[in-house]
Amino acid sequence: MSTIRELVIVGAGPAGMQAAIAAASAGVQVILIDSSPLPGGQYYKQLPRPFLSDNQDSHHEHAHQLFSHLANPHIEVMTETMVWGIFAGANAGTWQVATYGPTGCFGLETKKIILANGAYDRSISFPGWDLPGVITAGAALTMLKHQHFLPGKRILLSGSGPLQMAAAAWLIDSGAEVVAVLESSPNLIKHGIRYLPALTAQTARIREGLGYLRSFIKAKTNYKFGWSITSCSGAGQVQQATFAKLDSRGLPIPGTKETKEVDTVVLGYSLNPNTSLSRMVPCEMEFQHLRGGYVPRRNENFETSQPGIYAAGDCAGVGGAPLSEVEGRITGSAIAHQLGYLSIQEYDAIREKEAGSLAREKRFADVLGDLFSFTPDLSSMAGATIICRCEQISLAEIRAAIAMGAQTVTDIKNITRSGMGNCQGRTCATLIAGILAKETQRPIQAGGFLATRPPIHPVPLSALENYQYHEDSSVQVQRGSLE
């Protein structure tokens, strides 16, 4: 017997949780899926269940409010479950969401889907970036906040934007020796002043920034503006990091190089929207420079080009948690209206209520995108530098593919196998797009984006063999505590 679900939400972070709460409070039956053991996503990541903390700050208070609203009879939370594909459903106008979790592989048929699977750290490549001990800012923050673990003792940070600022402050406060924080963006001071109005009504963010600033002043942190890491070296793990001052185009200035002994390097070059699912469906994509590149095109209700599939939060363009939450609430309400739970007047009233915060957060996201989407131009690095880690494809191999006539990232994938390993290009696709743009002297969007095929994450064949669709009994919904 088949059950057609009303709404499946992929990702229980800020956008997914708010969408679930908004839709469920209007009466929609929601399934909220996340790959972690507990909801929260990266931003509201909860401590592991066996850990106990007395943390009571406002960030925690807000998170706990969200978790308590998830305990709604209309919301079923499926944790430790990954979504590896989206296909047309068996009935007209429905979709099938293919999952893999503790009880195996099964498909859920649903009328509506919200993609809310967030973003992940963007990489830069340079000789030695693949050495053990070189990690992303997101990785450092997860170790610190989720595991209460210090990734190293002597640490260099290089990156751009607030994520690396947060990572640096946490590392310092936790007792690491931060040898330097390199902010690569040359636009910070130059453009920063005219963006001051965008800070209106951003008191929480100002307070957060001032807190970090206090840590840097107290620790006399060597915070360098307009600098970037250029290479790392070491035997078996990173031991030295070399960095240089950048000119206005982002090129290292000869003669400014310095080298420091380190045991860890943290890279924080903003985020890539996670578009694996929207590209797989496929949804029509559009290039948004200020939001991290190609993202699904959406209408005013955040519906993609595929009827019934919506996208909210960072997976539709990096904009931060507050924007994701607003988008989540609007998307959940839009679907409640579509399914007949809210009248057009009720939906319009919700949109009107959210209009102010939506505009404010979009403005702030644009500012961050402009100030911090900068990456250094390290294209003079050695040809042996690995670009695609999974398949171990070097810069020289990618250049050779371009010399053969490759015009797009897909051409380069077809020629070199870059992006065909376990991570499916999540790490290297933006690097390769950058190399292609540089070599062919075209804008980065001219190189296009990689198509994705199911499964978007590896799934054991033994689990796929028992794939069940329409078998409700196989759905083991995690009804336990959400905290």
Residues within the interface to other proteins (CB under 8 A): 35, 37, 42, 47-55, 120-121, 130-136, 138-140, 142-144, 147-153, 173-175, 215, 236-237, 386, 389-392, 421-423, 426-427, 457-458
Residues near 433 by beta carbon (within 8 Å), at least 6 away in sequence: 293, 409, 444, 447, 449
| Least Å from the CB of residue 441 to other proteins | 30
| Least Å from the CB of residue 384 to other proteins | 11
The tokens for 28 are 């929609």
Cβ 229 vs Cβ 156: under 8 Å: yes
Q: In terms of CB distance, is 155 or 335 closer to other proteins?
A: 155
The 10 Å CB-count burial string (b at 16+, else e) for 65-95 is ebbebbeeebbbbbbebbbbbbeebeeeebb
Q: In terms of CB distance, is 298 or 413 closer to other proteins?
A: 413
Residues near 442 by beta carbon (within 8 Å), at least 6 away in sequence: 436
Q: In terms of CB distance, is 51 or 189 closer to other proteins?
A: 51
Q: In terms of CB distance, is 215 or 357 closer to other proteins?
A: 215
Residues near 324 by beta carbon (within 8 Å), at least 6 away in sequence: 13, 14, 15, 18, 43, 116, 118, 312, 313, 314
**H-helix segments, 255-407:** 276-280, 321-338, 344-372, 395-403
| Least Å from the CB of residue 314 to other proteins | 13
Q: In terms of CB distance, is 349 or 396 closer to other proteins?
A: 396
Q: In terms of CB distance, is 147 or 466 closer to other proteins?
A: 147
Residues near 384 by beta carbon (within 8 Å), at least 6 away in sequence: 127, 394, 395, 396
What angle separates helix 321-338 from helix 344-372, to the nearest 10 degrees?
150
- The phi and psi torsions of 237 (rounded to 5 degrees) equal -160, 165
Q: In terms of CB distance, is 149 or 359 closer to other proteins?
A: 149
| Least Å from the CB of residue 175 to other proteins | 7
| Least Å from the CB of residue 279 to other proteins | 15
| Least Å from the CB of residue 131 to other proteins | 7
DSSP letter string over 184-195? --THHHHHHGGG
Q: Is the N-terminal amide bond of 458 cis, ω within 30° of 0?
A: no
| Least Å from the CB of residue 143 to other proteins | 6
| Least Å from the CB of residue 204 to other proteins | 17
| Least Å from the CB of residue 73 to other proteins | 29
Q: In terms of CB distance, is 140 or 435 closer to other proteins?
A: 140
CA distances from 419 to 257, 350, 385, 431 (A): 32, 42, 16, 11
Q: How far apart are the first and last CA of the chain?
A: 33
The tokens for 97 are 């969401």
| Least Å from the CB of residue 144 to other proteins | 7
Q: In terms of CB distance, is 41 or 369 closer to other proteins?
A: 41
Distance CA 362, CA 368 (A): 10
Q: In terms of CB distance, is 175 or 255 closer to other proteins?
A: 175
Residue type, 417: R
The tokens for 254 are 């000869």
**Sign (positive or negative) of CA dihedral 366, 273, 47, 49:** positive
